Amino acid sequence: MTRTAFRLILLISCAHALVHVFELALPSVEQMIGEDLVGKTAAENKAATGTLGMAWRLPFGLLAMVAGWMADRYGSRRLLIVYLGGCIVTAVAAANSHSMTPLFVSMLVMGCFASIYHPAGLSLISRVTTPETRGRALGWHGIFGSIGITAAPMGAAILFGTGWLGWRGYYVALCIPAAVIALLILVSIRRIGSTREPGSQVGPVAEENVPFQRGPYMLLVASGALSGFVYGAFLHFLQRYLDGSGVRPESVSAESFRNLLAAVTLSFAVGGQWLAGRLARPGRLEWLQVAILAASAPCLVLMGLATGWFCLVAACSFAFIHFMTQPVYNSLIAQLVPSRRRSTGYGFSNMICFGIGGLGPLIVGRSTDNLLIYCGLAAVVGLSTLLAAILWWNTRSVSTGAPPLSPENE
């Protein structure tokens, strides 16, 4: 990997961290929003903020296909600036919302801009890496994403612990790092003199000639969609779940403590991303995806049964294992889709995965029974594991020369 490619990957990874900061900003403050703008029972507040989560996540997924097409046509770097600028504007709009309706619209539009990141950023990384270096690059990319996921509740814990800012000031504060990263990407464009990806020829030319493997790709996306549903539900109500563990010291505010516990939980996701990035290599991706998904289901069952500090232990174990899927999954996408169509391939994947994931907060928000919720999510992960196992079996059959289960390749 060249020094230029490495610097570009770091910059893209910082933009990745920010998209997850914006994603986790709402879960970090959803209980405060419920108390401020809904002001009803805990169950009614949860249902209302679950609707806000759906408003953010649905366009985050459903517009990713369009974003992928635009990245292929206009260049990933230019689209990354549009994403950051749009999130800044909508964060300011959210901070100035004084009822649920304008806040709902702000979340909806913010999700639209945030949908640009994954197809644009992942495609750009896949084009400046080779199959041998891609797993590690996507591992670092995933680590930065997990750092962003961790930073959102950690920042909230610090700010709310000091009493300097409420949830409105928190959204305004998020605009500062977004503006810095946008400026750095703009400078990188001017240095290159083009929005076309200069490193797009780094990978082997043979990658351009690999046919689109439609059947395996659709199996992978279907498995990812079910995993995305669990991801969306887990993240949106993580603070609420940990708040219900009843372990908060009297001397610490509820707003600060639940976000601190969430930050601890999501820091384990960083370790999972790092380990998966080290393990993700061609030839082992399919079975690795199956193993990770299968190992994460029992952790969800434990979350449903746990009480007290065991709630934190169960949540940490799930975060460590389940987040390992991301670099493996994204490496598989690059393996199945030709380089020239990767933005669209990642875009369709994110449209389905995050689109279905957007339903997670809405559906889970209708129940307050943790055993029902997390055992149900474990069953969804089980279905995702089954689809990943079929993909593994089918690709093994093709690689060994045996007839596949169905005609998969074009």
* Residue that the structure tokens 């649905």 belong to: 58
* Cα distance between residue 237 and residue 41, in whole Å: 16
DSSP string across 122-183: HHHHHHTS-HHHHHHHHHHHHHHHHHHHHHHHHHHHHHHHHTS--HHHHHHHTHHHHHHHHH
Instruction: Tell me: pLDDT of 366 over 90.
Output: no
pLDDT tens digits for range 117-131: 988 888 888 777 777
- Per-residue pLDDT band for 210 (boundaries 50, 70, 90) equals low
The residue among 49 and 406 whose pLDDT is bigger is: 49
Looking at residue 390, its pLDDT comes to 93
* Cα distance between residue 293 and residue 34, in whole Å: 33
Q: Which residues of 371-402 are buried (b: 16+ CB within 10 A; e: fewer)?
A: eebbbbbbebbebbbebbbbbbbbbeebeeee
pLDDT above 70 coverage of the chain, percent: 91
Looking at residue 47, its pLDDT comes to 85
Instruction: Tell me: pLDDT of 197 over 70.
Output: no
Q: Is this structure's pTM higher than 0.85?
A: no
Q: List the domain boundaries for the chain.
A: 3-399
Looking at residue 191, its pLDDT comes to 61
Looking at residue 65, its pLDDT comes to 82
* Cα distance between residue 217 and residue 166, in whole Å: 44
Instruction: Tell me: pLDDT of 293 over 90.
Output: yes
The residue among 73 and 400 whose pLDDT is bigger is: 73
Instruction: Tell me: pLDDT of 193 over 70.
Output: no
- Per-residue pLDDT band for 397 (boundaries 50, 70, 90) equals low
Q: Which fold has domain 3-399?
A: Growth Hormone; Chain: A; (1.20.1250)
Structural contact between residues 288 and 275, judged by C-beta atoms closer than 8 angstroms: no
Lowest mean pLDDT among 45-59, 192-206, 215-229, 354-368: 192-206
* Cα distance between residue 88 and residue 83, in whole Å: 9
Of the ranges 5-19, 93-107, 207-221, the best mean pLDDT one? 93-107
pLDDT tens digits for range 33-78: 988 888 778 788 888 888 898 899 888 888 888 888 888 788 888 8
